[in-house]
Amino acid sequence: MTLSKEVYAEFEDVVGPEFICNDPAIMPSYYATEFAAVILPENTAQVQAIVKLCNKHKVSFRPVCTGWTGKFQAGVVLLDLRRMNRIIEINEKNMYAVVEPYVITAQLQAELMKRGLHLNVKGAGTNCSAMLRGHGHLDQSTGGDDRNHLAIEWVTPAGNIVRSGSLGSSDEWFCGDGPGPSLRSILTSATPPGVTPGVFTRAAMKIYHWPGPTKFPIVGNSPNYALSEIPANFMTRYYSFPTMEKMWQAELKIGESEISFELMGFNVAMVAANITTSNEEEEAAFKRLSKEVQGPGFLIILAGNSAADFEYKKRVLNHIVNAAGGKSLASLEDPRTEGILMCQCIRISASIRETFRPGGAFSSIPVMGQRDLTIKWAIGAGKAKEPLIEKGLIVDDGGASFGWGVEQGHLGKTEIFCKFDPQNAVAKQAVQAWHDEQSARAFKERYFALLSPGQPEEIGKALSNYHVWWNKLQKELDPNRVSPEGGALV
């Protein structure tokens, strides 16, 4: 759908001619989709005006932030939120930060570290929006998902501005649940089912205590960054265990003892990716590390609030790991490698080296649920990867999955990747088949994975007809159906 000159002019009046474009030349950079136009709003008022125009002319819209590869329908108006990039407030006393969508996590994190504070970093990476809701390596110490969203300013699909939580009754952002409308069940996430339609224009993110330096002492030139010294009372280790069961027991006890700053159930392929600067190095490191580990494992970062606290945490960790038969990966104890991994995991959240670098694309199935059960599912999904690895269709990662416990660790996230070359049609097809089969198996075993469009209905039937209620809500919120699924932050 193309916009008529008159309609285009109406949008142009909102943002000015510099910030709207429908030239075909720019479309390949926006997901190779023929958007009706790409618009760059500057503030909530402009977003609202654009959304109202979309309703008036029955034009669909989608918002996007930094945005990895995405799928969009042609004819949609794309709201690139790049100009909405302000940190509105860092409230040290009440431990929250209010940001607009295009503040990236690395920016907010750096500002917070200067103030002895920190935030949950999502697995997507610090190059993504700080407002993104989801899970990350810090889930044990910060919680994940909706734990970290407080009050939210939301432009609904109909173009109304809704302010949730404390913002609904005052100008305060400190709480997502009141005094004022909670809307927690509506203001959800970018992951189906239950993607919030409309646009989040500002959100308060919960922030946490940071016992580390105001800035990491990085030396070297990219990509060979290292730390000149390991910060006081910090330690990074990778432990492998004789069995998955033992690993999970250790993970659970670490969660219960609340000693970890960051716990990430990396497989060794991911460790290899994060400590190396090229694909060739990574492949060699993976082979080397695979021989050093005794079985599945996790990476843990301890951060002591004092020397005594650090010693205590180390003692508890050693006790738990020893009891589970865990073994530290000796080659990662080298301070240089330890520092690389520490900084990489805290300041970047790993991400690109372990996902896109090897082949150019990856397919992922994340499942939430009770960790011991989802791990069992992931073992099956890993085994199903092995034929693809043998045929050379996907990158060899030993068929491993990864994941971590959230908070005390009983519940958590388990995820598995297939990394492949998207230009290889055979590989692409094989990975899609694997994804469909394993997602279906997850659903059958009652873990709710990231499903394809249409499947939320299937989930809904298993969850008190959730989808029926969600569809009714969507109809009320989006009477003109201008905000298709996937409308929240990316």
Partner 1 sequence: MGLEQYKGDMDMCCRCSTCKFVPMQQVSGFQYANVCPSISKYDFHSYSGGGRLNIGASMLKNGFNYTHKLLDIVYNCQMCGACGVSCNYAMDMEVMAPITEFRIKCVKDGKTHPALDKIIAGLRKNDSMVPVTGKRGDWAAGLNLKDATKEKVDVLYYVGCLTSYDKKLQKLARSTAKILQKAGVDFGIAGDAETSSGGAAYEMGYEQDALDQAKKTMALIKQTGVKTVVASGAEDYQAIKVLYDKFKLKGDLKVLHIAQYIPQLIKEGKLEPKKNLELAVTYHDPCHLGRLGEPWVHWEGKKVPGDRFVFDPPKVYRRGTHGIYQQPRDVLKSIPGVKLTEMPRNKEYAWCCGAGGGVCDSNPEFAQWTAKERIEEAESTGAEALVTACPKCEKTFSAAIEANGSRLKVYDIVELVEQAIE
Map the footprint of partner 1 across residues 101-130, applying CB under 8 A.
103-104, 106-111, 114, 125-128
Closest contact distance (angstroms) between CB of 374 and partner 1 is 26
Among 145, 153, 338, 396, binds partner 1 (CB under 8 A): 396
CB of 106 to partner 1, least distance (A): 4
By CB under 8 A, residue 376 contacts partner 1: no
CA distance 182 to 477: 16
CB of 360 to partner 1, least distance (A): 5
> Measured from the CB atom, is 158 or 394 closer to partner 1?
394
As a whole number of angstroms, the distance between CA 416 and CA 411 comes to: 17
Rounded CA gap, 147 and 119, in Å?
11
**Choice from 88, 218, 384, 440 touching partner 1 (CB under 8 A):** 218
Q: Which is nearer to partner 1, 390 or 458 (CB)?
A: 390
The nearest distance, CB 40 to partner 1, in angstroms, is 5
Measured at the CA of 50, the angle between CA 49 and CA 54, to 5 degrees, comes to 120
Q: Determine if 19 is a binding residue for partner 1 (CB under 8 A).
A: yes
Kindly identify the residues of this chain, within the stretch 73-92, that bind partner 1 according to CB under 8 A. Answer: 80, 82-83, 87
**First vs last Cα of the chain: how many Å apart?**
24
Do residues 39 and 15 lie in contact, with contact meaning Cβ atoms separated by under 8 Å? yes
Number of Cβ within 10 Å of residue 449's Cβ equals 27
Tokens of 234: 């910090």
Whole-number Å distance between alpha carbons of 324 and 249 = 7
| 93, 280, 291, 425: residue in contact with partner 1 (rule CB under 8 A) | 280
Contact 267, 400 (CB under 8 A): yes
- Which residue, 117 or 367, is less far from partner 1 as judged by CB? 117
Q: Smallest distance from the beta carbon of 37 to partner 1, in angstroms?
A: 11
Interacting residues of 438 by C-beta distance below 8 A, sequence separation 6+: 365, 380, 381, 384, 416, 449
Scan residues 20-49 and list those touching partner 1 (CB under 8 A): 21, 23-26, 28-32, 38, 40
Residue choice 143, 325, 422, 484 for contact with partner 1 (CB under 8 A): 422
Q: Which is nearer to partner 1, 111 or 256 (CB)?
A: 111
Q: Which is nearer to partner 1, 171 or 280 (CB)?
A: 280
Q: Indicate whether 171 belongs to the interface with partner 1 (CB under 8 A).
A: no
Beta bridge partners of 299: 238, 264
CA distance 486 to 453: 10
Q: Which residue has the tokens 């209620």?
A: 469
The two counts, helices (H) then strands (E), for the chain are 14, 20
| Nearest CB to partner 1, comparing residues 107 and 257 | 107
- Nearest distance in Å: CB 405, partner 1: 25
What's the closest the beta carbon of residue 214 comes to partner 1, in angstroms? 10
Contact 440, 367 (CB under 8 A): no
Rounded Cα–Cα distance for residues 181 and 302 (Å) = 38
Between residues 269 and 459, which has the closer beta carbon with respect to partner 1? 269
Determine the interface stretch with partner 1 among 164-172, 201-209, 309-317, 349-357 (rule: CB under 8 A). 349-357
Least distance from C-beta 380 to partner 1, angstroms? 22
Name the CA dihedral angle for 119, 124, 128, 134, rounded to a multiple of 10 degrees: -50
| By the rule CB under 8 A, 195 interacts with partner 1 | no
Give yes or no for residue 361 binding partner 1 (CB under 8 A): yes
C-alpha 483: how far from its chain's center? 22
Chain center to CA of 377: 21
Q: What is the DSSP letter of 82?
A: G
Could you say which of 8, 174, 312, 356 contacts partner 1 (CB under 8 A)? 356
